[in-house]
Amino acid sequence: MSTRVAAGAVALAMLVALPAALSSYQLSLLTKMLIFGIFAMSLDLLLGYAGLPSLGHAAYFGVAAYTVGLLALRVANNFWIDFPAGLVMAGGVSALFGLFALRTRGSYFLMITLALGQVLWGIAFGWRSLTGGDDGLPSVPRPRLPLPWSLTEGVPFYYFVLVCFALAIGLLALVVRSPFGRALVGIRESERRMEVLGYDVWRYKYFAFVLAGLFAGVAGNLFVYFNGFVSPSYLNIVFSASALLMVILGGAGTLVGPAIGAAVIVALENVISAYMERWVLVLGVIYVLVTLFAPSGLVGLVKQRMGASRS
């Protein structure tokens, strides 16, 4: 346990110190990694801990992004209204979708979450007057906070995201260590056994679903500020599937693994698309390879190595 705390402290120290050593482009990449780290961790709560494979998680990410974007552009660029509003929408939509999705299991659950995500995508795509349709909403401003630094600059914005990331991982770590979190793991391993032991399984799954949606909303909020832009692609299956890949690549059910998985995917996407036109093809191959050869993800591989060297 103390090795983990030590490693976490080192990682945090590095993340705090890094801006000094990175170019502004590299820093913005790191910022993106942190944002997707939050997104991936939110899905890990649902998938890795509760065992619910959602193919529509981008819905909550995207709905938060649109909410913040629309409010900041059309109403007022007021962080204290916009940011919470984004979270409320993400939580509200997940609370609604959860009622439908949680009546199913397995492949059906995959399919329903996919369909629900696509419904939102369809709305964003079709309702041009509200969302700008396929063109999206450009020029979303960065938030104005009562700080001596402007968030329009790369370094202050990075630290802002880092603070959110630290809070997110801290809260999620608390949740997964709580009785609630441990119960989710039990439900993942054997729902029937948990029912018989006295747990109201549906309630646990529902809470996990909404909580995961909320944290996805945090990531969505940050991403629209980061990019200054939101489009229907933030809601579609490709986005949802990327989150799944990040979780699996990193290691489902480890929280920190998916954050690392997110960093890896963001880095790969950046590097490979700079050299290759056929980035999508490579991504597809990555999906196949990860599934075939690293089902427990990078964290799983590391654990295997450590276990082997110990014996």
Contacting residue, 14, 167, 197, 301, with another protein by CB under 8 A:
197
Sign for the pseudo-dihedral over CA of 89, 53, 233, 41: positive
> Computed over its alpha carbons, how large is the radius of gyration of the chain?
19
3-class SS of residue 228: coil
190 binds another protein (CB under 8 A): yes
Contacting residue, 2, 20, 74, 192, with another protein by CB under 8 A:
192
Contacting residue, 155, 166, 268, 286, with another protein by CB under 8 A:
286
Contacting residue, 24, 78, 150, 291, with another protein by CB under 8 A:
291
State CA 84 to chain mean position distance.
Answer: 17
DSSP string covering 154-180: HHHHHHHHHHHHHHHHHHHHHHHHSHH
Q: How far is CA 32 from CA 29, 56, 83, 147, 265, in A?
A: 5, 21, 18, 22, 11
Nearer CB in complex with another protein: 70/101: 101
311 binds another protein (CB under 8 A): no
What is the nearest approach in angstroms of another protein to the Cβ of residue 123?
A: 8
> Is the CB of residue 65 less than 8 Å from the CB of residue 220?
yes
Length of the chain: 311
Contacting residue, 7, 25, 195, 271, with another protein by CB under 8 A:
195
Nearer CB in complex with another protein: 44/82: 44
Nearer CB in complex with another protein: 40/201: 201
Alpha-carbon span 241 to 40, nearest angstrom: 11
Nearer CB in complex with another protein: 65/184: 184
Whose CA is closest to 97, among 60, 49, 47? 60
Residues 96-125 that bind another protein (CB under 8 A): 100, 103-104, 106-108, 110-112, 114-115, 118-119, 122-123, 125
Contacting residue, 26, 229, 273, 287, with another protein by CB under 8 A:
287
Nearer CB in complex with another protein: 178/304: 178
**Token pair of 95 as six digits:** 């609370």
> Is the CB of residue 244 less than 8 Å from the CB of residue 67?
no
Binding site for another protein (CB under 8 A): 47, 53, 55, 100, 103-104, 106-108, 110-112, 114-115, 118-119, 122-123, 125-126, 174-175, 177-183, 185-186, 189-190, 192-201, 203-204, 207, 237, 241, 244-245, 248, 278, 280-281, 283-288, 290-292, 295
